[in-house]
Amino acid sequence: MIPSGFIQDLLTRVDVVDVVGRHVELKKAGINHKGLCPFHGEKTPSFIVSPSRQTYHCFGCGVHGDAVRFLTEFVGLGFVEAVQELAQQVGMTVPDDDRTQEERQAQAQRRQEATTLTDLMARAAVHYRQQLKASEVAVAYLKRRGLTGEVAKQFGIGYAADSWHGLASAFPSYDDPKLEEAGLVIGQDVGTPKEKRYDRFRHRIMFPIRSVKGEVIGFGGRVLDGGEPKYLNSPETPVFIKGRELYGLYEARTAIRKAGYALVVEGYMDVVALAQWGLGHAVATLGTACTEDHVRKLMRFTDSIVFSFDGDAAGRKAAARALEACLPHASDTRSIRFLFLPPEHDPDSFVREHGAPAFEEAVSRAVPLSRQMLNLAQQGCEMDAPEGRARFANQAFPLWSALPEGALQRQMLQAFAQEASLPVQELSSLWAAMARARGQGFGGGSRPGPAGLAGPLGPSGQRAPDGRTPDGRAYGGSGGSGGYAISTDGSYGADPAHPGGIPMGVPGASHGGVGRAGMSHDRHGASPGFGPKRRLSWAERQALADPMRRGAAPPALRRTPRSPADWVTQLLLKQAQWWSRLSADDLDLLHHLPAPHTTLLRWLERDIEEHGPRPWAAIQLAMQDAPDLGRAWRQLQHQETDESESHWESLRHALDQLHLDRLQLQQTELAARASQDPSALAEYQRVFERWKHLKQALAAASADGGG
């Protein structure tokens, strides 16, 4: 945590007028400064920046804040990143006692290298804009596409001349290795007598890619003739990672707030063409599928996103990837929709042929996320046949489990159950069994799932497939400790799986509050021949009776066995240096874990690639800046553990357990296919041998460890 005292000291040294003035044109108005509000569209200035108070305030929309808040609310930086940005401007060092001096120096060096690269990019952008003015061919092309000089200036569009060494006139040293690191120049046979260097971009319309701070971090080039590739992007560099950046976001920030939603399209020309028609709230991915980082970044500016895709097979596939990235962020207060244009159109051609009002009308009819989830789960399924509906239920589970807790998740449980022609309770039981087979808590890791199981005992009095309660937790401890079983009438007694009853120390264990295993109970929870048991409250009984309510067992009973996936995720976050010791099979296993584990582990992998393995304290600080990571971390089962448990062998054992569960699931799936697919039987035998070998190895390791 950054000390509050440091932040107050920082704000006294920072000039809010200077910070806001980099993004808003301000004019002196008495003791204050005034300008057009960047948070909403207006023609008469009502946005006031006060140097005496070091705050800003808009009398039109009511926004108010200081320099840190402006960088987080308008620029889109995270809190820690905003504090670091301001501290760097005034020469202060953000306190971080958990980092070594070497780590701080390495971070400062990375920041300096990033500044060098962005300076080179900015100089190249100026050169490309100058080349555009001098090229009649490039200007004619933009005019044919319907772009005005005003829009070209807004996006900083330029032109890379048809020359192998066009940038030589823009830089004092064309041999500077930093030009190659920035992706502007390509070097061949570097360090040899045959060394050659030439421009990466030639005879292309150049689109500068800016960060949310406005720095040029890369380029996209569109070829003018029929050459290939049609679009060419900068390679990834220390300042440019395609899976994190969005073209046009810097230019679209104010328009997004004004429109109330962000429009995600697939190409640079789509963004620019839409802006030409007054639809300036569009952004584009950079030749990659939409990622969680893209969604997370957009959610800093708006709670509503519309994805626009072509109506062909490629567009449907891109929509599926975007849906997958959005699911962990689809809270009850956010809107995510999907617009599919006719196959013969992209946004650019559609708006030029039909106009902006027709495009906005099409957006109003975009498919909501809930409908798109159903459509995706139904792919390849004959919904009029039991086999097709069974496949649908199987394909729907990972989509549903990726949703965060809330009303939408519960609504989608009902929707999936209706499409599968199953009662909600039966679908809950089916998915709980699937989650258990995969070594996960119900509803994605330990996220509580739908309360469709009526406690560990199902409607028939049998234990539910995963032995869990309506909120996805397993009652009772592990090993030989006793546990409770909750019956469908709202009472609870000793778990039949533990005849010994409840151990001393558990509330009610020594006060006649728990009936013996096997004893019947009346409808009010009384146990004949024993002291009266505590009746569950009305809310608890309703939670057990209503499939759409979460179970609410007494807090003292919530002793959940630690999930292997939870333990693996926690250990890798706390011991990031172990990541390099993982095998390819381990990484593949981790990449296929459901949320919240995949959210944390994919972020950790990217963080290690960017910063190297960092200590737990630094990981915690980085996670504080991303609410999604904090939410995912809280969804894990956290239990007090001894330091002796935090060792590589413990991680290896948990990974092997996950591998074992995965192989078991593969056996089940292959066995179901064996009757129709002869090759499935051979594959089943191979998987079985792997499973048996791993199981024997785990048993031997347990025997050695347990004595």
Q: What is the pLDDT of residues 362-406, one digit of tens each?
A: 999 999 999 999 999 999 999 999 999 999 999 999 999 999 988
Strands 185-188 and 158-160: unpaired
Q: State the pLDDT confidence band at 646, using cuts at 50, 70 and 90.
A: confident
Residue 26 lies in a domain: yes
Half-sphere exposure in the Cβ direction for 13 (13 Å, CA): 15
Q: Give the pLDDT score at 267.
A: 87
pTM: 0.58
Residues 518, 584 within the same domain: no
Number of domains within the chain: 5
Which backbone phi and psi does 688 adopt, to 5 degrees? -60, -40
Does residue 516 surpass a pLDDT of 50? no
CATH number of the domain that residue 229 is part of: 3.90.980.10
Q: Does 452 fall in a domain? A: yes
520 lies in the same domain as 586 = no
Alpha-carbon Rg for the chain in angstroms: 30
Residue 697 backbone zone (phi > 0: left; psi -120 to 50: alpha; other: beta): alpha
**333 and 266 within one domain:** yes
435 Cβ contact list (under 8 Å, min separation 6): 397, 401, 441, 442, 443, 449, 466
Q: Which of 206, 233, 260 is the last residue of a domain?
A: 233
The confidence band for 475, taking pLDDT boundaries of 50, 70 and 90, is: very low
Pair 145, 48 in one domain: no
Name the H helices within 464-592. Answer: 538-545, 564-574, 584-591
**Is 558's pLDDT higher than 70?**
no
- By C-alpha distance, which of 484, 452, 404 is closest to 549? 452
**Same domain membership, residue 430 and residue 359:** no
The residue from 317, 347, 376 where one domain ends is 376
pLDDT of residue 99: 62
Residues 570 and 551 reside in one and the same domain: no
Residue 676 burial (10 A CB sphere; 0-12, 13-18, 19+): exposed
Question: Given 33, 58, 89, which residue is the final one in a domain?
Answer: 89
In a domain, 208, yes or no: yes
Instruction: Write down the number of H helices and E strands in the chain.
Output: 26, 18
Whether residue 522 sits in one domain with residue 616 = no
670 and 582 co-located in one domain = yes
Mean pLDDT of the chain: 79
Average pLDDT over residues 60-83: 86
Same domain, 120 and 200: yes
Q: CA 476, CA 467: separation in Å to the nearest integer?
A: 10
Judged against a pLDDT cut of 90, whether residue 98 lies above it is answered with no
Q: How far apart are CA 127 and CA 170, in angstroms?
A: 6
Decide: 370 and 408 in contact? Cβ < 8 Å.
yes
Task: Provide DSSP, 381-414.
Answer: --TTSHHHHHHHHHHHHHHHHTSPSSHHHHHHHH
Residues 196 and 264 in one domain: no
Gap between the Cα atoms of 321 and 326, Å rounded: 9
| Angle formed at CA 375 by CA 373 and CA 379, multiple of 5 degrees | 120
Q: Is 337 a member of any domain? A: yes
Lowest mean pLDDT among 291-300, 303-312, 492-501, 693-702: 492-501
User: How far from the centroid of its chain's Cα atoms is residue 95's Cα?
Assistant: 28
Q: In angstroms, what CA-CA distances link 122 with 48, 156, 176, 180?
A: 31, 10, 16, 15
153, 192 in Cβ contact below 8 A?
no
| The two structure tokens encoding residue 597 | 């584990």
The set of residues, in sequence order, having a beta carbon less than 8 Å from that of 344 and lying 6+ positions away, is: none
Give me the helices (H) in 265-345, please: 268-276, 292-298, 313-326
**474: closest CA among 501, 515, 431, 442?**
442
What is the pLDDT, as a whole number, of residue 217? 95
Looking up tokens 């292959």 gives 670
Distances (CA, A) of 533 to 510, 516, 518: 12, 11, 15
Interval 569-612: pLDDT, tens: 989 998 888 888 888 788 888 888 888 888 899 888 887 877 77
Return d(Cα 502, Cα 507) in angstroms, integer.
Answer: 9
534-to-475, 508, 529 alpha-carbon distances in Å: 17, 8, 15
Distances (CA, A) of 107 to 102, 182, 613: 9, 19, 13
Tell me the C-alpha distance between 445 and 604, whole Å: 17
351 burial (CB, 10 Å; 0-12 / 13-18 / 19+) is buried
Mean pLDDT of 121-147: 94
Please indicate, yes or no, if residue 353 is contained in any of the structural domains: yes
438 lies in some domain: yes
Residue 193: domain span: 108-233
Kind and range of the H or E run holding 57? strand 55-58
Residue 642: is its pLDDT beyond 90?
no
In a domain, 410, yes or no: no
Based on the fold, state whether residues 552 and 568 are members of the same structural domain.
no
Q: Which of 107-116, 313-322, 364-373 has the lowest mean pLDDT?
A: 107-116
Same domain? 554 vs 569? no
More confident residue, 703 or 347: 347
Is 243 part of a structural domain of the chain?
no
* CA distance readout (Å), 28 to 32, 35, 39: 6, 9, 20
What pLDDT was estimated at residue 554? 38
Q: Tell me: the pLDDT tens digits for 220-256?
A: 999 987 778 888 999 999 899 988 899 999 999 889 9
pLDDT 10s digits, 186-223: 988 777 777 899 999 999 999 999 998 889 999 999 99
Any residues with CB less than 8 A from the CB of 526 and at least 6 apart, and which?
491, 532, 533
